[in-house]
Structure 1
Amino acid sequence: MSQLAQPGSSVSPADLRPALTLLTGFAPKATREAADLLTLADPSLLVVTYDLAELLDNGTVRRLVHDGRGPIEDERVTLDHGCINCTIREDLLPALVRLARARPAVDLALVLPPSMEPEAVTTACGWCDVDGAPVTDAIRIDSVVAVCDPGTLLETLDSDQDLADRRLQAADDDTRSVSEVAARQIEFADTVLLWAPDSERDYEHTRLSVLLQRLNPWARHLVLDLPEPAWLSARIRRSGRFDPEAPEPHGRGLEGYAVGCHEPEPDCGVVATVYRARRPFHPERFHRALPTLAGRTLRGRGHLWLAGQPDTIVAWESSGGGVSMGDLGRWLAATPDEEWEESSPERRVNADLHWDADFGDRGIELAFVGIHFAADELAAVLDACLLTDAEAAEGAAAWREYPDPFDGCFDSKERNQE
């Protein structure tokens, strides 16, 4: 069942909805240039761009629309609440639907600002209505393309800055980091484009290509070194690669998909490793290991199992030396039988295939990517965090009494005590 890639959504020839291509990335100049190249190939393509520079100051966003012939719209819109989610709901989605209805035979490209994650847009398209009808009645999300600038990619993925340090935060309480947003943009994309026009491929470009493939092994990877509009358009437009049913990157392991690739030997210095275990981490030992785990790698993702909270699936993300952990819900082994149907068929099948007589579907699956780190040393650090044989033999009742630095962090205390 485990696999790296899943196919894109099939597109019926009878589907006449305009196709929407999302261009995302933490290199706005490269992303805009990619959109411009698409309009050279197809002057009718409608390109929508958002400028959020005034969002926090006065709740105003600037929306620009152009095609290959020039500007069509340039409007400033004041929102009721100054945040990115409000921008998506109150202006972006209505604008896309309006443009699709006005020009039903014309496709669209949406250039996202650096702080706007494509997952937020695609999710909103799936559940929001405009004028009483689903957004997806008017448009079809065709592809999500991450555009990466080789001049800034590595520095961005290794940055210890928050979005607020660059005045890019989505709201006053937005604590996301530059590195985690950039990594999520790459990981969520179905196509990853290394933008290197008018430059010769060298060792650094090769190294960055390997890094991007390790960060997102289920995407299609392209390198543009010559600005050829037809070449680019043929490869990223109307590809049908976006799959609305694809699992989120850090939850892929629960659905039976690999969370990453295991390439522990350096390739141009890039190392990728996947760590799996079928016993939990000791909460205190794992807490002490966090700086080491995050500091040695550029990116980590996946899910884990903490002994002190044995019913809770914990999501793991690390980037830029920082760590983000969250609640992914209950393990199926801790879920009443009548609630199993609420989980996806893929997750239930994967759980059945790997069911442990003592622990059910509980387990750990973490993927790490970085430059010049020793995969075996990282695995040794994680192994030292696992319960020993003696601790494992004590059982879940004893584990719940362990001192737990993560207690109360995942909104699951009451659930774990039921």
Structure 2
Amino acid sequence: MPDATRDSETIIVIMYCAGMAARVVLVAGFTHHDVADELWRASPESALVRHDLSGLADGVVRRWVDGRLTVLELAHGCVSCTLRLDLVPLLEELDGRVVVHLDPVLEPEAVCFALSGTDVEVEAVVTVVDTATWLDDATGDDSLADRGMRAAEGDERTVAQVVVGQAEFADALVLTGSCDPVLAAVLDRLTPHAPRQTADGLDVTALLAAIPAESRRGEIDDGFAPLLHGQPPLEPAHGVAVVHFTERRPFHPMRLHDSIDVLLDGVVRVRGRAWVASQPDAALWLESAGGGLRVGNLGPWLAATGDWSEADADRRAAASLLWDPYYGDRNQEFVVITRSADAARIEAALRSALVTDEELALITELDFADPFAEWHEEMEL
């Protein structure tokens, strides 16, 4: 890093360092709306941090603190390096409230994960939703690369994964315009706990005060946590529905793979744990937004280890409630939020992917082809 950059960064740190942990309000969104500025102005003693990652692929990050620009040169141009080497150390030095305006391609969950284990307190995550484009973005197939917005080489995320993740992780939402009934129904189910205001006439003090005590405020969900976060409405509205699929027998891996297309068409969000017959000890994680899919490995089921000591209290309690004498805590659970897809068709596709009674009787003798084996090895959560 050039000396001039380091000197500029040092000046900023000295101006704000007071030996106390920062209280951070993260402002996310696939838009450059000035909600962060309004939050900053509403709290005169706060600092405003802003990042521009458009040059990240070339190892350059532009960062402003209260309008003062620092150009950072990173040896490895990637989002994790930006968080680990710049944003986290900066926030650890600041005190009081800090409003952090995230680059449009940053997802607040990744930032909060980077902050876990520090003394920095996440006061709230506020996401700005562009009401004119959000629904199409959330159900589309465009990648960040298609829009010329990928954060770095190898960034294969879709626009849908970004905008859905930003809204889903929010404690409060700011809408850039009027919210039509379909968008409102989707947001009611994606982030049911989050209060909403429109940008016109925004009262940021009232918005932050309306965030309920049980909001996540930067807390990262364990993959075994309840999937119906915030108790979303389960009744369909304006063509939007929630499919909550649960079952106590394994999936046939190839038939589950073949059913994935049904989960990607007309669907806003899929999140769930899968138990496949070819990997009886592993809890797999499937997550999609629009046409983007992630498959991960959450680790072993408790029944596979016999050791509950590493599991948190909530997971132990959930496992005890559904424990089966033979299967233990193994189970299927998916939550699917649809925009236009047929909920019954999704339910039928998942159910048809389960092993049959005949396959279940011979399960230890069958050799299942497993298209998920290599995927989850590359994408462990």
Separation (CA, whole Å) in 1 of partners of 2:217 and 2:42? 25
The counterpart of 1:167, out of the listed 141, 144, 148, is 148
The 3 A distance-change label for structure 1 pair 349 and 377 is same
The counterpart of 2:297, out of the listed 327, 331, 334, is 327
The 3 A distance-change label for structure 1 pair 296 and 398 is farther
Shift of 1:336: 3.3
The counterpart of 2:275, out of the listed 305, 320, 325, is 305
The counterpart of 2:86, out of the listed 91, 96, 118, is 91
Separation (CA, whole Å) in 1 of partners of 2:56 and 2:250? 44
CA deviation string 1:348-383 (max 9, x = no partner):
111011001121111111111122322122111111
**SS at 1:193 equivalent:** strand
Separation (CA, whole Å) in 2 of partners of 1:215 and 1:164? 25
Q: Is the 8 A contact 2:40 2:99 kept in 1?
A: no
The 3 A distance-change label for structure 1 pair 367 and 281 is same
Q: Is the 8 A contact 2:160 2:292 kept in 1?
A: no
Give the structure-2-normalised TM-score: 0.86
Please, which moves more after superposition, 171-180 or 264-273?
A: 264-273
Shift of 1:298: 2.0
Q: Higher helix fraction: Structure 1 or Structure 2?
A: 1
The 3 A distance-change label for structure 1 pair 244 and 52 is closer
The 3 A distance-change label for structure 1 pair 398 and 186 is farther
Q: How does 1:41-120 map to 2 (within 5 A)?
A: 41-57=42-58, 59-66=59-66, 71=67, 73-98=68-93, 100=94, 104=95, 106-120=96-110
CA deviation string 1:286-311 (max 9, x = no partner):
11111122124121111111111111
**SS at 1:301 equivalent:** strand
CA deviation string 1:228-265 (max 9, x = no partner):
4xx222322796744455524xx2xx234536867565
The 3 A distance-change label for structure 1 pair 53 and 91 is same
Task: Name the residue aligned to 2:197.
Answer: 223
The 3 A distance-change label for structure 1 pair 35 and 244 is closer
Separation (CA, whole Å) in 1 of partners of 2:217 and 2:41? 27
Task: Name the residue aligned to 2:5.
Answer: none
Shift of 1:213: 1.6
Give the structure-1-normalised TM-score: 0.79
Q: Does 1:389 align with 2:357?
A: yes
Shift of 1:18: 3.6
The 3 A distance-change label for structure 1 pair 225 and 90 is closer
**Equivalent position amino acid for 1:121 in 2:** V
Q: Is the 8 A contact 1:142 1:242 kept in 2?
A: no
Q: Which runs of 5+ in 2 are unaligned?
A: 1-19
The counterpart of 1:367, out of the listed 322, 330, 335, is 335
Q: Is the 8 A contact 2:109 2:218 kept in 1?
A: no
**SS at 1:358 equivalent:** coil
**Equivalent position amino acid for 2:184 in 1:** S
The 3 A distance-change label for structure 1 pair 41 and 298 is same
CA deviation string 1:290-344 (max 9, x = no partner):
112212412111111111111111101122223221111101111133xx21111
Separation (CA, whole Å) in 1 of partners of 2:209 and 2:121? 12
Quick one: percent identity of the two aligned structures? 36
Task: Name the residue aligned to 2:17.
Answer: none
Q: Is the 8 A contact 2:112 2:220 kept in 1?
A: no
The 3 A distance-change label for structure 1 pair 246 and 117 is closer
